[in-house]
Amino acid sequence: RRRGEAAEGDKRSTFQSGQRLRYCRPCGMHQPLRTKHCRDCGRCVRTHDHHCPWVGTCVGEGNRLYFYWFLLAQSVELAVFLCEGVFVFFSDDWHLHGELLVDSPGLVFGLVVIGLLLIMVTALLCFHTYLAMANLTTWENISWENISYLRSMQQDCGSPFSMSLRSNLAAYCCPPWCRLEECGCSPNIAGLKRTEDGWAIWELGEPHLPEVLDMNYCCWCCPDLDHA
């Protein structure tokens, strides 16, 4: 339902996966699970991750794959620029030209800035790789205790929306606009129900952490999930 479409009668209680959905007055709609209203964008965002000032919009279910490739491209670009700048100070036999360090303070400063940006962007890329594998969002990871349908669960045990590693990555890499049949994928590859528009219908399940991410946190709190 689009912003402002809901009538007064639609404000009655609506449930999804046994959870009462919150009604968003500015958008005039009930928020599906994992949906959050962004004050900066002025609308509700499905599978909300965060509002990114770099790209000037929210990152969510419809564009998070684009954001991931953006981070990857930025990491590669920064790494290339850093290597090219460092190579200026070396000769063909890898002899360091120390005088250039003194004569080119601007280049040295620029390389330091690029190096810091590379560390930051690479760390962000690694973090979003973890989120994709664990079927989490930045919002859920940071605000777990403030989200009504998550606060009763232990965060260390994983997301209640998480399935297998393959299904988590499929859900992340197959956004609503993806035509699964043309990609050679089965429509239910991620094990998700979808709306007519292709948006994921998330269902709460048992907290699950893929084995590749299991750092033995769940061994004591969720022994039955240790080998899932």
Active site residues: 52
DSSP H or E segment with residue 52: strand 50-52
Give CA angle at 192 (188, 194), nearest 5°: 95
What is the C-alpha separation between 33 and 10, in angstroms, rounded?
A: 17
Query: Which residue type is seen at 105?
Result: P
Angle (CA) 41 128 36, round 5°: 30
Tokens of 91: 């000769």
Q: Is 149 helix (H, G, I), strand (E, B) or coil?
A: coil
Q: Count the Cβ atoms, other than its own, within 10 Å of residue 83.
A: 11
Q: How far is CA 197 from the centre of its chain?
A: 21
- Is 171 strand, coil or helix? helix
